[in-house]
């Protein structure tokens, strides 16, 4: 499994672009920060991510909080 990028000290645009490149086969695209929830919810519905237990945006105040959990999930396995 591929390890995701740690979001600490990163702006959304940079982190989203890196993640899009890392998982290019999933064709995630990237969106402006104000649409982070849409992007996260779309990613969470993709087979490999869904099967790994990646959560959607519910319950997360900031994208960084979600991304930290995402990194933890993607680092296991």
| Domain map (residue ranges) of the chain | 12-75
Task: Indicate if the pLDDT at residue 70 is higher than 70.
Answer: yes
What are the helix (H) ranges across the chain?
12-22, 36-44, 47-51, 63-75
What would the pLDDT profile of 41-57 be if each residue is shown by its tens digit?
A: 999 999 889 999 999 99
The crossing angle, in degrees rounded to 10, of helices 36-44 and 63-75 is: 20
Phi, psi of 33 (to 5 degrees): -55, -35
> Residue 74 — pLDDT band, cuts 50, 70, 90?
confident
Tokens describing residue 2: 């591929």
> Could you give the CA distance from residue 13 to residue 33 in angstroms, rounded to a whole number?
7
């Amino acid at each position: 499994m591929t390890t995701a990028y740690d979001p600490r000290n990163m702006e959304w645009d940079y982190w989203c672009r890196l993640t899009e490149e890392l998982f290019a086969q999933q064709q995630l695209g990237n969106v402006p920060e104000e649409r982070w929830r849409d992007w996260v919810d779309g990613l969470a519905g993709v087979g490999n991510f869904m099967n790994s237990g990646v959560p959607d945006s519910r319950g997360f105040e900031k994208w960084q909080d979600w991304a930290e959990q995402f990194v933890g999930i993607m680092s296991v396995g």
